[in-house]
Amino acid sequence: MAVLAAAILCTGLASCSDKDHEESTLNPAQQEVARTKRHDTALLLCTFGSTYNESLSVYDDIIGDFKAAFPDVDIYMSFTSRTCINRVQASTGIQRYELDQWLKAIGNAGYTRVAVQSLHVIPGEEYLSLMNTDIKKYFMIQWFPNIDVLKGANLLADDEDTEAVADILYKHYSSQLADRHSIVLLMGHGNPDENYNANHKYADVQKALQAKAENKNIFVGTVDYGDMLFWPKEVEENPADRITDAAIVRSQYPDCIYSQVMQYCDNNGLQPGDVKVYIAPFMSIAGDHAHNDLWGLEALAEGSDINQVDLSTNKFSWRERLEKIGFQVQGEFESHPIAQAGADHGIAEGCGIRALGSYPAIRQIWVKHLREQWDANAWENGKDYQ
């Protein structure tokens, strides 16, 4: 009896262990796809992602736009940033599965066609990795070569897109731009690796905007691309080599935001204290970069001393450094409520920071990119590459 009991116990433990292992390796996206599948075609929207609550309504609006344009398609959304995926559930309670989990779940669900739409702004590192590695190499060639795939381009895919985005933004800020005592600054993300020539897209947008603004008082910088930072990138290896001389910055780094706004003041006979500055993210949503690298909300919540701000280090936000110089940053315009500056991962309602995805007309550019490919019947599969 003792031997029999031991045998039964061991068998039971083995069965539980096998079951636990099976559940732990189950693709969580597979259950979501099985629950959602209604059609033969799936659409996977791919964005860099964010852990901020402000992103929720923007992503909902984007999904709603694509549902309206493609009613006979099952729509899913994935983040390409692993960091955002790992943190988003804790901050928003929403599961954003790994891209490969979505792709395998969709491929195994019996879809005959899969459309993939990028929600990236420029064709930079994240976009190229998505399209060339995740979609082409893995999904199309290695995993599901028999499924037809359609790929929709990023926001600024061509000159027509650049002009359209510039027109939308110019109309939105037209009253501010009509006053030469005002400046509008837009912060894009950018690629730190200069080999990604997609960074020129930001300069193209600025050029298009300034062609519309008589005072040429709107500028586009980045948080991650050296030539278009607020101040030239600090030297991490040897802080003593950091550029601290403003004259050197203006002469050697004319594309930095600092150089451009100071040159604008010189050209117009203005002092920084004479100028109102309006700041906004040139990103799909208002996430961490918008809240902290642009607005410096964490510093604001902590009661930071503007006298301690150092222009030469990018650990300080654009707002802090602009105020240090003497500019009047318009905190009441399209900003985060000061009383909630310390909110962890933003707030779901009441934030006024306006990102690109907040504009219905800009969201329609992404929709247009997929519609153009759809109407052109530009489906392909892995067998074409093989």
Q: What is the pLDDT of residues 23-77, one digit of tens each?
A: 446 899 999 999 999 999 999 999 988 888 888 899 999 999 999 999 999 999 9
Q: Minimum mean pLDDT among 6-15, 26-35, 94-103, 126-135: which range?
A: 6-15
- Specify burial of residue 16 (Cβ count, 10 A radius: 0-12, 13-18, 19+): exposed
d(CA 159, CA 144): 34
Arithmetic mean of pLDDT over the chain? 90
Asked if the model's pLDDT at residue 17 lies above 50, the reply is no
| Upper half-sphere CA count for residue 356 (Cβ side, 13 Å) | 28
Q: Minimum mean pLDDT among 81-90, 138-147, 182-191, 260-269: which range?
A: 81-90
Task: Pull the structure tokens for residue 239.
Answer: 């802080």
Question: How much is the pLDDT for 338?
Answer: 85
The DSSP string of 11-49 is HHHHHHHHHHHHHHTS-HHHHHHHHH--SSEEEEEEE--
* Long-range Cβ pairs for the range 257-260 (8 Å, 24+): 257/185, 257/219, 257/221, 257/228, 257/229, 257/230, 257/231, 257/318, 258/230, 258/231, 258/311, 258/321, 258/325, 260/219, 260/221
Give pTM, 2 decimals: 0.91
d(CA 332, CA 339): 12
- Output the CA angle 71-77-79, nearest 5 degrees: 160
Question: How much is the pLDDT for 4?
Answer: 52
d(CA 317, CA 297): 9
Task: Give mean pLDDT, residues 122-140.
Answer: 95
What is the percent of the chain where pLDDT is above 90? 70
Go through 296-323 and write b for each residue having 16 or more CB atoms within 10 A of its CB, e for each that does not: bbebbeeeeeeeebebbebebbbbbbbb
Residues in the chain, total: 386
Task: Pull the structure tokens for residue 11.
Answer: 């068998």
Question: How much is the pLDDT for 42?
Answer: 98
Question: How much is the pLDDT for 26?
Answer: 85
Task: Pull the structure tokens for residue 153.
Answer: 């381009």
Task: Give mean pLDDT, residues 278-288.
Answer: 96
CB 83 within 8 A of CB 288: no
Q: Dihedral through CA 305, CA 337, CA 155, CA 229, nearest 10?
A: -10
* Digit-coded pLDDT (tens) for 326-345: 999 999 899 999 889 888 78
What is the percent of the chain where pLDDT is above 70? 91
List CB contacts of 136: < 8 A, sequence separation 6 or more: 385
Asked if the model's pLDDT at residue 86 lies above 90, the reply is no
List CB contacts of 282: < 8 A, sequence separation 6 or more: 121, 186, 187, 188, 202, 205, 220, 356
Task: Give mean pLDDT, residues 304-331.
Answer: 93
